[in-house]
Structure 1
Amino acid sequence: MTDMSWAQSIVLGAVQGLTEFLPISSSAHLRIVSELWAGEDAGASFTAVTQLGTELAVLVFFAKDIGRILAAWFAGLRNPDRRGIDYRVGWYVILATIPIVVLGFLFTDQIRTVGRNLWLVAIMLILFSFVFVAAERFATQRRDLQQLTRTDAIVMGLAQCLALIPGVSRSGATASAGLFLGLNREAAFRFSFLIAIPAVLGSGLYSLKDAFEPADAGLQASGSQIVVATVIAFVIGYAAIAWLLKFVSNHSMNWFAAYRVILGSTILVLLATGVVAAY
């Protein structure tokens, strides 16, 4: 176990904020950056806790939407006549969250061990790039968030489970599922952000103890370093959300797919030549 430096905690916090919402996998980037820089893994718990910063950014950015959905959900519980789209979206978020909660709990050990293998990370970066390309190729983008259905929520919730594998990308997997289902890009990404809130907040809070008192080998961050990294992730994450929603309105995910293929291929070469270790 090696103490994390302040420079490393600051950079990793920035990486988390920049990559959490872009469909390029924040967990993969934290794993890669920490390995290339320090020769050790920052750890799944550090990743989960710093994600609290980016999820706070989601809460702030979508505060009005979240407040409206919550108000409509509670109102709809009391009065059937007030069960509009916001009421249904509230239930859809709950429905979409169930699969990842169950699988995340069942496979906690695998996520923190074999899931950190850089061979797996690099391969997932490349393979899921083609999923993005296929989603863009067959997307009709005929529906917006007002036309979201229960089926959309279930499928996107199942797709979110793939984010348990570093290299896949939570937003990439869920947004691709949305595109395959006929949602437009902005609707797919907006719902992707909404269903990530309970899952990531739960994961981060569950991992707090392990992050501050790690028992495994790898980089060990102090409490103050984790706090600073989380704050940095919040600030940069907020800016990343605003940029991404504007970008996907007029650009496809193919740009991100190309980047993922280049990054994944580079890591495979570094692994094959022994420059970096898989664990």
Structure 2
Amino acid sequence: MEVQAVLLALIQGFTEFLPISSSAHLILPSVLLGWRDQGMAFDVAVHLGSLLAVLWYFRREVGTMAAAWWHSLRGGGHSAESCLAWGIILATVPACVVGLLFGDWIGDHLRSGWVIAVATIVFGLLLWWADRMARLQKTEYQAGWRGALWLGCAQALALIPGTSRSGITLTAGLMLGLTREAAARFSFLMSIPIIFLAGSHQATDLIGSQAVMSWPAVGVGVLVSFASALACIHLFLTLLNRIGVLPFVLYRLGLGAVLLWLMTAQA
């Protein structure tokens, strides 16, 4: 159980912030190895670890944005940091609305290996196209409210399993003309409220379910997902401008092909 928890937390931490679809990777252990679901408590734990990682990595930016946002809320005027903070808040709205209205339907009808495989391939190709056509001129502070709303709508698409939240928001950022690093940074900052809200929703369901929790697995989930997500964020931002998105696109195409083959073999 602990070995499975470590490996699943590693997968969650590394794939949460890479444009390669965490849901596509989390389905593989169950299909290939027959591993059962670790449970809702473990899901909350790995999301908490990922959230702590992005908060720690961007702690200075988050602190500055929070102070500037509070200053603007009290009528002190706007700055680049407060505008970015408001943009992050605006970008969170579409996913919340779509999740509340269609979350159950998506979970019942779209959470299949076929959907994950096709979405992994299709949205991987869209990422490649967006990178090829990108102007790569703007910083995250130049996205504006229309850009933030566009990024938020893209984030809502990530409710489709296999899309990849980081992948589709990176794609949308490149379409807006953001640099690769700016698009990635905006995507990471956008993840903070959405992971918090998703984790809070899961935690509420967990408390109401009175499920039995394996505290060692929960502890492993938090620590391993935190460490792997922190390493992932640093490496991705360090290497993105150097290697571009093509390696991730090719990886997605290969992963999608493997999933299609597995689904066909099981049919």
TM-score (norm 2): 0.92
2:229 is matched with 237
Structure 1: distance between partners of 2:42 and 2:91: 25
Structure 2: distance between partners of 1:96 and 1:28: 24
Residue 28 (structure 1) aligned to one of 20, 24, 41: 24
CA contact (8 A) 1:212 1:222 kept: no
1:169 is matched with 164
Q: How many residues align?
A: 267
Matched residue type, 2:112: N
Residue 102 (structure 1) aligned to one of 92, 97, 101: 97
Q: Describe how 1:174-185 pairs up with structure 2 within 5 A.
A: 174-185=169-180
1:227 aligns with 2:219: yes
Question: Which runs of no fewer than 5 residues in structure 1 stay unpaired?
Answer: none
Give CA deviations for 1:186-218 in whole Å, capped at 9, x if unaligned. Answer: 1101111111111111101211254578799xx
Question: Which runs of no fewer than 5 residues in structure 2 stay unpaired?
Answer: none
Helix, strand or coil at the partner of 1:113: helix
Structure 1: distance between partners of 2:257 and 2:65: 42
Residue 71 (structure 1) aligned to one of 67, 72, 89: 67
Helix, strand or coil at the partner of 1:167: coil
Give CA deviations for 1:215-274 in whole Å, capped at 9, x if unaligned. Answer: 99xxx9734313311221011100110000011122221110100110110111111112
Check 1:257–1:248 CA distance in 2 against 1; reply closer, same or farther (3 A cut): same
Deviation (angstroms), 1:145: 2.1
Residue 83 (structure 2) aligned to one of 88, 100, 105: 88
Give CA deviations for 1:129-160 in whole Å, capped at 9, x if unaligned. Answer: 11111111110001112322111100000000
Root-mean-square deviation over aligned CA pairs: 2.2
Structure 1: distance between partners of 2:151 and 2:40: 23
Deviation (angstroms), 1:48: 5.4
Matched residue type, 1:66: V
Helix, strand or coil at the partner of 1:8: helix
Report the more deviating stretch, 58-67 or 97-106.
97-106
Check 1:44–1:28 CA distance in 2 against 1; reply closer, same or farther (3 A cut): farther
Structure 1: distance between partners of 2:210 and 2:244: 42
CA contact (8 A) 1:55 1:200 kept: yes
Check 1:215–1:261 CA distance in 2 against 1; reply closer, same or farther (3 A cut): farther
User: In percent, how many aligned pairs have the same letter?
Assistant: 39
2:147 is matched with 152
Structure 2: distance between partners of 1:49 and 1:112: 20
Structure 1: distance between partners of 2:98 and 2:122: 22
1:18 is matched with 14
1:52 aligns with 2:48: yes
Check 1:214–1:270 CA distance in 2 against 1; reply closer, same or farther (3 A cut): farther
Structure 1: distance between partners of 2:75 and 2:88: 20
